[in-house]
Amino acid sequence: MLNPAAADCIPPPDAGVDRKHVPLSVVIPAHNEATVVGRCLAAMLDGARPGELDVVVVCNGCDDATADVVRGFGDRVRLIETPVASKTNALNLGDDAALGFPRLYVDADVVLPLDAVRKIAARLAEDAPAASPSMATDLSRSSWVVRAYYAVWTRLPYVREGMIGVGVYALSEVGRRRFGRFPSVIADDGYVRMHFDADERVLVDGAPVRVVAPATLADLLKVKTRSRLGGLELAAKFPELVARERRTKNYGGAAWSVGLRPWVWPQALVYLWVNIEARRRARAQFATRGRVEWARDTSSRRADT
């Protein structure tokens, strides 16, 4: 899958940097994440040795206190600010500034402890081109409908393939050269994932990331509609990549995993309805051709979660 031409698009690390002592880099795009970016950074930096991490936070289109929260961490974090409210543009700016590999791309609303960062980096340093943490879903504020959905979703075999729904993906230097700049897409994680076979995407057990689930059905539908919308966009822009990934998927195992558990069937009905409704909404939005609404779940971004 390596595209030699794409490798030329990746900016090399600064020429003056001693490669033997380059820290691993973490790129965090943040758009109005003042309520959660602090907990993300605190978990990651707690216990880090001086010079161990190169953390770059890219505040994009922020009109809240995100940048001020980041500045509160002093020289442990490098801050980039841009008026352009675009996650993929922020990822590219972060890539331009990042010093080392392995490189982690982390959503500002998740909690990835330093120990998990180290374990992921160690796995990438071995032979894996791409990796992601295991998921620890926080359902403490979620309604029973949301809990029912996740009870099924987290059991599906394909979730174990890695880089799916956890808000974190990590690449070795070789893995990062699979593609060039991040394109302007909704599903950046989906775009990256499609460049790696399932056996190349390592799910690092024992390295959990805390993902706060939506609180209500309405919030869940926003998240899943955006996910479906991202998939439709990828299919339109990168049909060959999408077709290739679909050929590698096996949904038969997922159906059996639910079908053989009658006690899960009521939850499965919730799961199916949410997916059908999210797909309907996504297709309706996609048909508007450019008037797509970026629906955001704010319930998982409460400061006290």
- Report how far Cα 99 is from the mean position of its chain's Cα atoms: 20
CATH code where residue 261 lies: 3.90.550.10
Cα distance between residue 3 and residue 244, in whole Å: 15
Q: Which residue has the higher pLDDT, 133 or 256?
A: 133
3-state class percentages of the chain: helix first, strand second, coil last, to nearest 5: 45, 15, 35
Cα distance between residue 163 and residue 186, in whole Å: 15
Residue 85: inside a domain: yes
pLDDT score for 182? 97
- 3-state SS class at 272: helix
Predicted confidence (pLDDT) per residue in 170-212, tens digit: 999 999 999 999 999 999 999 999 999 888 999 998 899 999 9
Q: What mean pLDDT value characterizes the chain? A: 86
Residue 304: inside a domain: no
Residue 232: inside a domain: yes
Residue 305: inside a domain: no
Predicted confidence (pLDDT) per residue in 24-52, tens digit: 999 999 999 999 999 999 999 999 999 99
- 3-state SS class at 52: coil
Q: For residue 279, report the phi and psi dihedrals to the nearest 5 degrees.
A: -65, -40
Residue 293 has pLDDT above 70, yes or no: no
- The domain in which residue 288 lies consists of 4-299
Tell me how many domains the chain contains: 1
Residue 117: inside a domain: yes
pLDDT range class, residue 17, cuts 50, 70, 90: very low
pLDDT score for 198? 86
pLDDT range class, residue 245, cuts 50, 70, 90: confident
As a whole number, mean pLDDT of residues 222-247 equals 88
CA distances for 201 relative to 12, 37, 78, 129, 187, angstroms: 24, 26, 28, 7, 17
| Residues paired with 59 in a beta bridge | 30, 81
Percent of the chain predicted with pLDDT > 70: 80
